[in-house]
Structure 1
């Protein structure tokens, strides 16, 4: 029985248990456990000084299916995740990264303060279970001096904090359509000077499409203990092991007739990827004086990746390591930070023939070796910020980041004149940042000007023949930003408005010249400008019912200022891969008895899918609904229940697109990654306090 058929029984069970538990909660209200609900504003800010940032936390994650992380991120204006599958996500910030064929780059990502972006600037969000996260903070644009000055900005992931002086065991179990099953088991302990959290998670699903199964197991250990009055040590270990089949993108005919289809060649090869990922880090914090503190982290990452594809089989592994040291303190009336960050990784990869066509319909079969390569990559950052008050209301901040990047590519397969080994040493680049902030009782207004950069990806540094491209350069850009934040109507309404403009030159373009062949080059200039609006209202419908409508709107007016591709002049065209209009909205209802209803909506406008703007994806609306209930069973046990529907009206929409797709051998180009059809989910959470 599929979950469309299981949906009604789930709803029946939920509404049968609900009244019983509600009655018990009223009778046993004295023993009801207090639930700690953090608003976005209550979460400690990680971004340095007056640097503006956006935050999402538990309340936002709770609105959605625990496997639907893109919907939570897409609540933030200016940030959009294009998701082809659980393992195929591309995060774009103000249009930066939209032209990347696969994956996320052009930004920096940190996990509990430890950098998790690899040597070419690629970040993998699939390596984390977001049920373990307490908050996500996003700095849009290159103004995050202390967290890199990448054009896309920085994403700061932070795990859930242990509840003070409490030992508890929490198990969250979810099931849903496409035989989805997810479980997260967390043990946490907190006492004076010591905090520990250990989580195990498992996720499996058959997926909406053919060749779309996914299975993941993960372990997260996070511990912190005080070693003295002025010092503490924390240790982090994150391990993920997952296997994900790859349905790939499909053409327009398949997308319109049957979006559950996989690309025929990926289906025949039974293409998939298998990943084992480890992140471990040790951090030491010491307070030298009342106004000077240092946190130093050393870390190691490992990724083992195996991916049978129709055109070849990729076998790779990456060892990465580094350190980050950050000082923070006060100098007179000014606040300052300064420090350094170093990252080095060793990327080993080889390709092999895929003989799936000769394997009697049994999928991929490894053939002879086609290539064997190693690349050593290192990045070094120096950073510093100084924030000082000009008056009681007016403050300014100066930031500086210095980046040095080096690639050393070694061809271990070819010999003699055919050997393609080479080095690429980028010049050091200085990236300043200047911000001004004016604060008053009901809000603030801020302005920022900053310079940023993006390193070329691995594919962009190599020609199709596997040779280092000596002419490739880093993208650079200047970002101008003006914003304001308000708290109105007795702080019931929060309103944020931002105008920005970013001019990017030496635009990196990954031009597709074969089924798995790209060549990178610096092709011109783009202008990213837009408007971002975030509104949220909180009030009471009655003494026991609160409601909170919200809206986030993004206007992307992004275009090629100068872009000439051989004989084609695309100057003036809208930027490929970016919707001009995007809207996220919804409303949350909460009852004092623990009942909660979340209604969410997303609108995405047309997305140009070719540089010539000859074809665009259709605009779409998607609606989600979730009903939850939480109560105390005893003084030690609390229970949470939820059911929900994704894509309520069963829209056929493209959740991601592949830009500038090319059809080979007379086939139609494959632009579309379909979003899931209407699907159901339900879950139970048990919390036991020792």
Structure 2
């Protein structure tokens, strides 16, 4: 464990403050100490955002708190069918049922919403690292293209929601955590709630040196969330999220370095001291109006800004994006039928340029900006219309029809080259109609559901351009049809919940970003894939004694994904397993809780080997990784409660790849760099102080 004296002192100082406040409170309120009621949120208690009978998976705050507060991938990886490959805190790739696994970096082919506001950019890219783990109250995932009201992307939709203010309370909460690699994290939240008004303001800070060379990270953020009544039938909500972070980039490494010393960074990234600096802001204003008991509308306007600067060994990228849009959704019922309809418009302006990186001439001081190499602007528009109708044909049988219409337009401007060398062009995709049909049969202790839906994915920026910066006029949107059959059960007096789903999705016009240089890709459509699999989620809630409760859980994913028709030049990869996807994945654990406030969380994840090349000539090794966290909560007075926790990540010190880069190319005599190592065994501990006014 690598803890600096400075961080230890900060931790002790934080603990001293907690103890000081505790002693003060006890001296002034010795005769008025009462036990605060603990609120335990089950997943069923989280309000569902998915429309009508659409199935979805949910995680509550309780599920997040099983892990280190910097480890959002492990939390979300508890959901079957969803896998986050995490190369670093700032490098996450979310795949759902194998969709998105071929994306070189980042997350695309799904839609992400934060408190109901779209946060996916104009080419379908989403960044979950823009949100502080400790501010999240719930995550809901709609797998596959059946989301309709949240886009019909092949990967589905992820709905993030902030923690709700505790009704009729004013409180101040501070969570302070330190850990290995000089990690320090603090989250300070003030919240107030009264009739017709809810307000919360959070500040968060995170810093760490990281496990690997050149992996320092520092982030500061502010989150403002307010809701207030403006009349008997109307209310407003304001959301502001600001993040400012600098993350050094250790990049991927080859197999020799991965096996001998996974802390290494490639020499060119280390010498250039490669990093990314980001300033990101999201602002959204929402208005809800209830016309009657049978109809209401929520309309949101929003603005996003991203300023990104990234020195890489091969060049320096300097970019900024302005995005804005509007989303309006009506919901209501007409007789027995329930309906939703609305629209979503998003437009952004993406400005980027590249410059020479003269780090080799900078006397060991890292990156140095040189001559400009390119200057570009892209205007991107996306428009969605959506509607669903849910109708109960019988007491136990309901059907739902959904339609989504999408229109996408790209306008690329080359501001650097003149004359014939100028690559300015437009790409106007055809209107695409995406239907969705679902059935739901309710049983005494559960339900059975079926779904057929059509989805799409837009090409990313890299996939629309050739290496010469020219828009590829032949690139088409990926499309696919999803077939799904599932069931959800609550048994043994609701102590056991069991969910199982079988699906098959056929995707055509597969988008492939073929790497032709260190930072050059050619986008093309390259055949068909078949995504089919099984997902199983089990959770049991029981008691070992009158004072000890326990809750074991398990999520299993079977991915039987393959290329149906994929020919790359002279190579025919048809029939091969899909690159970048493990066939088997298991997330399991047990929560133990004592009535005195003591809680133990034991978690485990198994990930099968992952094909690293389309030819299946190389694969990552399968791995098991185990974590443990011990926590204690108690009320110290009628106003103050205290939480303490400590944990160990990667208990058995496994050397494993937390993320991989598929189809990596070794330039010159260099080995291909496939691997992003996971952290070695590491530790963390924290204090939380909650003061209720």
With normalisation by structure 2, the TM-score equals 0.96
Per the TM alignment, residue 3 of structure 1 is displaced from its structure 2 partner at its CA by 3.6
SS of residue paired to 1:435: strand
Q: Which residue of 2 aligns with 1:418?
A: 421
Secondary structure of the 2:63 match is: helix
CA contact (8 A) 1:4 1:680 kept: no
1:274 aligns with 2:277: yes
Q: CA deviation at 1:252?
A: 0.3
For 1:115-130, what aligned pairs fall within 5 Å after superposition? Answer: 115-130=118-133
Q: Distance in 2 between matches of 1:93 and 1:613?
A: 21
Q: Confirm or deny that 1:2 pairs with 2:2.
A: yes
Contact 1:10–1:643 (Cα < 8 Å) also in 2: no
Match in the other structure for 1:561: 564
Instruction: Tell me if the contact between 2:4 and 2:182 (Cα under 8 Å) persists in the aligned partners.
Output: no
Specify the SS of the correspondent of 1:616: coil
1:190 is matched with 193
Task: Give the match for residue 176 of structure 1.
Answer: 179
CA distance in 2, matches of 1:264, 1:442: 59
1:465-544 equivalence runs, <5 A: 465-544=468-547
Alignment of 1:115-514 (within 5 A): 115-514=118-517
Q: Is the 8 A contact 1:3 1:680 kept in 2?
A: no
Measured after TM superposition, the shift of residue 370 of structure 1 is: 0.1
Distance in 1 (alpha carbons) for counterparts of 2:436 and 2:590: 37
Cα displacement (A) at 1:212: 0.2
Distance 1:285 1:491 in 2: 35
Distance (Å, rounded) in 2 between the aligned partners of 1:583 and 1:607: 14
* Residues 1:61 and 2:54 are matched in the alignment: no
With over 3 angstroms needed to count, the CA separation of the structure-2 counterparts of 1:385 and 1:28, relative to structure 1, is farther
* Partner residue of 2:611 out of 582, 585, 608: 608
**Aligned-partner Cα distance in 2 for 1:127–1:656:** 19
Long gaps (5+) in structure 1: none
Higher mean alpha-carbon deviation, 617-626 vs 485-494, is at: 485-494
Q: Distance in 2 between matches of 1:525 and 1:312?
A: 34
Contact residue 4 and residue 679 of structure 1 kept, 8 A: no
Q: Distance in 1 between matches of 2:198 and 2:2?
A: 42
Count of matched residue positions in the alignment of Structure 1 and Structure 2: 680
Deviations 1:201-258 (A, max 9, x none): 0000000000000000000000010000000001000000000000000000000000
Q: What is the aligned-residue RMSD (CA, Å)?
A: 1.7
Distance across 2 between alignment mates of 1:125 and 1:97: 14
Aligned residue among 661, 664, 670 for 2:664: 661
Equivalent position SS for 2:198: strand
Other structure's SS at 1:607 match: coil
The correspondence of residues 31-42 of structure 1 with structure 2, limited to 5 A, is 31-42=34-45
* Partner of residue 593, structure 1: 596
Please give the alpha-carbon distance, in whole angstroms, between the structure 2 residues aligned to 1:611 and 1:677.
29
Return closer, same or farther for 1:677/1:227 CA change in 2, 3 Å cut-off.
Answer: same
Q: Deviations over 1:326-355 (max 9, x none)?
A: 000001100000000000000000000000
Aligned residues of 1:630 and 1:640 also touching (Cα < 8 A): yes
Q: For the residues of structure 1 that align with 2:487 and 2:639, how far apart are their CA atoms? A: 44
CA distance in 1 between counterparts of 2:316 and 2:526 reads 31
Task: State how far apart, in whole Å, the 1-side matches of 2:300 and 2:663 are.
Answer: 41
Question: Quick check: 2:11–2:176 contact (8 Å CA) kept in 1?
Answer: no
CA distance in 1 between counterparts of 2:97 and 2:623 reads 20
Q: Per-residue displacement from partner, 1:73-98 (whole Å, max 9, x unpaired)?
A: 00000000000000000000000000
1: CA distance, partners of 2:546 / 2:353? 64
- Secondary structure at the aligned position of 1:572 is classed as coil
Q: TM-score, normalised by structure 1?
A: 0.97
Alpha-carbon distance, 1:497 to partner:
0.5
